[in-house]
Structure 1
Amino acid sequence: MLYASSSLNRLLGELKKLPGVGEKTALRLAFHLLKSPGQVMALADSLHEVHGRIRSCSICHGITEEDPCCICTGTRDPSTICVVEEPQDLLAIERSHAFRGHYHVLQGALSPLNGVTPAQLKIPELLARLEESRVAEVIIATSFTVEGEATALYLAKVIKPLGKKITRLAHGIPLGSDLEYVDATTMQRAVQGRAEL
Structure 2
Amino acid sequence: MSSTSDIDSLIELMARLPGLGPRSARRAVLHLIRKRGQLLTPLAGAMQQVAATARECLNCGNVGTSDICDICDSEKRATGELCIVEDVADLWAMERSQVFRGRYHVLGGTLSALDAVGPEELRIPRLLDRVVTEGITEVILALNATVDGMTTAHYIADQLGERVRITSLAQGVPIGGELDYLDDGTISAAMRARKAL
**TM-score under structure 2 normalisation?**
0.80
What is the aligned partner in structure 1 of residue 20 from structure 2? 21
Task: Kindly report which structure 2 residues correspond to 1:92-111, keeping only aligned pairs within 5 A, or say none.
Answer: 92-111=93-112
Aligned-pair CA distance for 1:172: 3.8
Aligned-pair CA distance for 1:123: 0.7
Contact 2:168 2:194 in 1 (8 A): no
Contact 1:127 1:159 in 2 (8 A): yes
Moved more, 130-139 or 71-80: 71-80
Give the counterpart letter for 1:22 in structure 2. G
What is the aligned partner in structure 2 of residue 114 from structure 1? 115
TM-align CA RMSD? 2.4
Contact 1:78 1:134 in 2 (8 A): no
Give the counterpart letter for 1:23 in structure 2. P
Partner secondary structure for residue 78 of structure 1: coil
Task: Kindly report which structure 2 residues correspond to 1:32-51, keeping only aligned pairs within 5 A, or say none.
Answer: 32-38=31-37, 39-51=39-51
Task: Kindly report which structure 2 residues correspond to 1:43-82, keeping only aligned pairs within 5 A, or say none.
Answer: 43-74=43-74, 75-82=76-83
CA distance in 1, matches of 2:173, 2:114: 30
Aligned-pair CA distance for 1:71: 1.4
Give the counterpart letter for 1:99 in structure 2. F
Deviations along 1:24-45, one digit per CA (max 9) or x if unpaired, are 1111112112212222111111
Aligned-pair CA distance for 1:48: 0.8
In 2 relative to 1, CA 158–33 (structure 1 residues): closer, same or farther, beyond 3 Å? same
In 2 relative to 1, CA 99–18 (structure 1 residues): closer, same or farther, beyond 3 Å? same
Q: Which runs of 5+ in 1 are unaligned?
A: 175-189
In 2 relative to 1, CA 54–103 (structure 1 residues): closer, same or farther, beyond 3 Å? same
Aligned-pair CA distance for 1:64: 1.7
CA distance in 2, matches of 1:21, 1:51: 21
**TM-score under structure 1 normalisation?**
0.80
Give the counterpart letter for 1:64 in structure 2. G
Contact 2:170 2:194 in 1 (8 A): no
Q: Which has the higher contact order (CA 8 A, sep 6+)?
A: 2
Moved over 4 A (4+): none
Aligned-pair CA distance for 1:7: 2.2
Aligned-pair CA distance for 1:9: 2.2
In 2 relative to 1, CA 97–194 (structure 1 residues): closer, same or farther, beyond 3 Å? closer
Aligned-pair CA distance for 1:116: 2.0
Contact 1:57 1:67 in 2 (8 A): yes
Contact 2:57 2:67 in 1 (8 A): yes
Partner secondary structure for residue 112 of structure 1: coil
Task: Kindly report which structure 2 residues correspond to 1:98-177, keeping only aligned pairs within 5 A, or say none.
Answer: 98-160=99-161, 163-172=163-172
Give the counterpart letter for 2:16 in structure 1. K
CA distance in 1, matches of 2:44, 2:84: 33
Aligned-pair CA distance for 1:115: 2.5
Give the counterpart letter for 1:120 in structure 2. E
Contact 2:167 2:194 in 1 (8 A): no
The alignment-based identity, stated in percent, is: 39
Partner secondary structure for residue 167 of structure 1: strand
